[in-house]
Amino acid sequence: MTLDATDRRILTVLQKQGRISNAELSERVNLSASACHRRVQRLEEEGYIRDYVALLDTRKLGRPTTVFVEITLSGQADEVLEAFEREVKKIPDVLECHLMAGSADYLLKVVAEDTEDFARIHRAKLARLPGVQGMQSSFALRTVFKTTALPV
């Protein structure tokens, strides 16, 4: 399936307002409500829309500290990578994990209450991940902007 301009307008609106009613969405993209509903269903079925989520405020939930952690593993064998990936998924403080090209093997995005909480996460969880040889942590001082919306 290829996306046309109407599909792209629907995706753009839904990325920013996931709880919008179908009636309001259909008005915003200039379609009838039934045609809009059919398109959204097709976009879901085809996997363009993967999930609907609520984005939470890290400050209100007591996790205002964001830390980016570069992980270097002891080796690149599939078993080492798979073991690391299996275990890192179990740490709820890790919001993202990316296999990287470059100086680090993985880049993690971690949330914490403060530096002491991150030290606990580092010591009790990250340092115990299988295959970890080294870690480099960088604390975000301020988030300039953040979005989950992809350009469509």
For helices 5-16 and 33-45, the axis angle rounded to 10 degrees is: 80
Q: Which residue has the tokens 């090209």?
A: 101
pLDDT digits (tens, 9 = 90+) for 7-31: 999 999 999 999 999 999 999 999 9
Contact 106, 96 (CB under 8 A): no
pLDDT at 69: 98
pTM of full prediction above 0.85 = yes
pLDDT at 42: 97
Instruction: Give the domains, in start order, of the chain with CATH numbers.
Output: 5-45 (1.10.10.10), 65-139 (3.30.70.920)
CA atoms of 36 and 30, how far apart (whole Å): 9
Number of Cβ atoms within 10 Å of the Cβ of 15: 15
pLDDT beneath 70, residues of the chain: none
CA atoms of 20 and 119, how far apart (whole Å): 40
pLDDT at 117: 98
